[in-house]
Amino acid sequence: MSARGCSSLALFALLLLASCQSAPRGNELVLSSAAELLAAPQRTREYAARGTRTIVLRVEDRDDGASLAVAARAIRDANLRLGFWLEVARSPSLANAQPALLASLQGHEEWRTRIADAPEPGAEEVVKLWPWVPILTREGYDAQLERIAARLRTLPPADELWLHGLQGAPSACGCGHPLCRWAADYHLRDARHPTRIPSGTPHGPDAAARFVEAVRALAPDAELIPVWVAECAEDDALCHGVPCYEGRCWPALAEQWAPIVAGSERLAVFVPSRSVGLPLDAARVQRELASLATIERANAPRIAIDPKRLIAVVEEPLELSGAHMVAECELEQSWEPRVWQR
């Protein structure tokens, strides 16, 4: 992706400053895990004492339902709002059960520069990004919705549900950038990929928005907060020489993001750092928010968002002026290449 426009960033900064009086304080939102809260039971009340209003519990495949229920009760007993952070695309259990649905690497090959001894696909084979099963295909969408529905049946009622993993897998085009997530089966015809081997039937740019609505119907009493990841930028220097293709990347992102913006009042922007090996500071957070708050590009839907609707999700404590949530638990973003035969 290309560098973010300075004018958009400056305008966003002014709007963000103007919104600070009504935005929640940073420590009002905390993202944690059941394991961490149960290991230190006093932590929940410590959060409440320092002004925290909502504790959001991570829900990944590794998080067991019994521990989540106990941690949720502790949060309620502390008179705090309860939220669940639901990981959608990244699911080892679903990936192992249905490997055909995994996102694939059939585009650029630069991702190989960061992975030693990466496997080579043979005839009728493709490299998959284990354990990422995006909802950008109809089959992946249906499987993930069934998984999330089953998971919700094991959880106590929550005030908020944060849905993360609504985009493609990292390195979607094959560049190797952990924030490249605009596609599921990007294909460049070459000797390695003479024909495209799809992970499923393309489900349209509004798949993420429809998924949010489907989960909302499963939990009508909870506020649904979609969590988005800003796309990569050329100035990150992590695309390993793959040039920015604005004729496709940004329009694809905007086409997916626009219906999300239209369907939900509060929107979260995850700015990963330690989970993807990227540095983090307040300036980067502001750039990521600005890149999604205002999109004005050729062949892409125009997007303009009130900064008060955006919540930054970060993995490290920062002095940020707007609403944000600090993840005090691990948010796994890794992947590994695995060969799958059609």
What does the pLDDT look like over 206-218, one tens digit per residue? Answer: 999 999 999 999 9
Whether 1 is in a domain gets the answer no
Whether 84 is in a domain gets the answer yes
Are 89 and 128 in contact by the 8 Å Cβ rule? The answer is no
In Å, the largest CA–CA distance within the chain is 61
Average confidence (pLDDT) over 36-49: 95
Give yes or no for residue 7 having a pLDDT over 60.
Answer: no
pLDDT at residue number 13 = 46
pLDDT band with cut points at 50, 70 and 90 for residue 107: confident
pLDDT band with cut points at 50, 70 and 90 for residue 27: low
Averaged pLDDT of the chain? 88
- Residues 303 and 312: their CA atoms lie apart, in Å, by 18
- Residues 251 and 233: their CA atoms lie apart, in Å, by 14
Whether 161 is in a domain gets the answer yes
pLDDT at residue number 274 = 92
Tally of domains within the chain: 1
Closest CA to 165 of 323, 332, 18, 340: 332
Average confidence (pLDDT) over 90-111: 93
All residues at 6 or more sequence positions from 317 whose CB lies less than 8 Å from its CB, including other chains: 326
Fill in the DSSP letter of residue 90. Answer: B
HSE at residue 76, side-chain half, CA atoms within 13 A, is: 10
Structure tokens at 165: 């993993």
- Residues 159 and 181: their CA atoms lie apart, in Å, by 29
Closest CA to 312 of 3, 14, 28: 28
Are 283 and 294 in contact by the 8 Å Cβ rule? The answer is no
Percentage of the chain beyond pLDDT 70 is 87
Give the angle 150-156-161 at the CA atoms, nearest 5°: 75
The more confident residue out of 89 and 180 is: 89
pLDDT at residue number 240 = 57
Q: Region of 163 please: left (phi>0), alpha (psi -120 to 50) or beta.
A: beta
Whether 309 is in a domain gets the answer yes
Q: 86-100, 110-124, 323-337 — which is least confidently predicted?
A: 110-124
Whether 239 is in a domain gets the answer yes
pLDDT band with cut points at 50, 70 and 90 for residue 231: confident
Are 178 and 245 in contact by the 8 Å Cβ rule? The answer is no
Structure tokens at 295: 């999109």
pLDDT band with cut points at 50, 70 and 90 for residue 239: low
pLDDT band with cut points at 50, 70 and 90 for residue 22: very low
CATH at 41? 3.20.20
Long-range residue pairs from 209-213, CB within 8 A, at least 24 positions apart, any chain: 209/256, 209/259, 209/260, 209/262, 209/263, 210/141, 210/259, 211/88, 211/135, 211/141, 211/144, 211/145, 211/163, 211/166, 212/163, 212/166, 212/260, 212/263, 212/264, 213/263
Give yes or no for residue 245 having a pLDDT over 50.
Answer: yes
Write out the residue range of the structural domain in which residue 191 sits: 6-341
Are 102 and 168 in contact by the 8 Å Cβ rule? The answer is no
Whether 263 is in a domain gets the answer yes
- 3 state DSSP class of 228: strand
Structure tokens at 188: 């460049």
Structure tokens at 191: 């000797």
- Residues 18 and 255: their CA atoms lie apart, in Å, by 28
- Residues 340 and 342: their CA atoms lie apart, in Å, by 7
pLDDT at residue number 20 = 36
pLDDT at residue number 83 = 99
HSE at residue 179, side-chain half, CA atoms within 13 A, is: 24
Give yes or no for residue 73 having a pLDDT over 70.
Answer: yes
Q: Region of 42 please: left (phi>0), alpha (psi -120 to 50) or beta.
A: alpha
- Residues 218 and 149: their CA atoms lie apart, in Å, by 7
Model pTM? 0.89
Whether 124 is in a domain gets the answer yes
pLDDT band with cut points at 50, 70 and 90 for residue 14: very low
Average confidence (pLDDT) over 123-152: 96
Give yes or no for residue 311 having a pLDDT over 80.
Answer: yes
How big is the chain, counted in residues? 342
pLDDT band with cut points at 50, 70 and 90 for residue 307: confident
